[in-house]
Amino acid sequence: MAAQRIWNEPNKLDHLVISMKHPTALAAMLSGGQAVKSHFATLPYSYQELQSGKVWKVTDSYEILGGQHSVLVMSASKSFKENNPKTYQAVIDAFAEAFAWVNANPDKAAETYIRYTKSKLPRKTVQALLHDKGEMDFSMVPKHTMKYANFLNQIGDIPKASSWKDYYWDNNYQFNGS
């Protein structure tokens, strides 16, 4: 999206992009080698890179999309939703409960994250990330997804959507999404 905005060529930088797991990219960025010179990362990796003093922010997805946005979206096919309505609803309810718990208990959530991921990050660092709602917000509300959908339509990847509700299931319609 940034390449489209800057050069009017959405694929201008594609030849420079390689797929790499975040931990591998983090290690490459912090090692100072020449193979990896930039990394679009999610938390906590982006935080670790910036805190190292070896990496500086050039841009971020909030800047590109114009604000906080949905980073991860859970998907389900129409056939799964229709053939497994109880399972579908149980998963939705579990996510809503988990998000509410993380938002109400960020310090406990940090401890749980460290325990399950075996993260080496200091507890206070993970707690700070979870307390910073400007950085990470656990929410069921679709945010800035139409901007991405419109871009994907412009480059021919998906049909035009008239609303974010065109690609979210009806259990999300109660939200003031975008």
Indicate whether 10 belongs to any domain. Answer: yes
Does the pLDDT of residue 34 top 90, yes or no? no
pLDDT in the model for residue 15: 94
The angle at the Cα of 86, spanning 116 to 95, to the nearest 5 degrees, equals 30
Quote the domain boundaries for residue 54: 1-59
Tell me: the pLDDT tens digits for 57-105?
999 999 999 889 988 888 999 999 999 999 999 999 999 999 999 999 9
Q: What percent of the chain has pLDDT over 90?
A: 81
Indicate whether 4 belongs to any domain. Answer: yes
Indicate whether 174 belongs to any domain. Answer: no
Indicate whether 45 belongs to any domain. Answer: yes
Tell me: the pLDDT tens digits for 7-20?
999 999 999 999 99
Indicate whether 30 belongs to any domain. Answer: yes
Quote the number of domains for the chain. Answer: 1
* pTM, 2 dp: 0.81
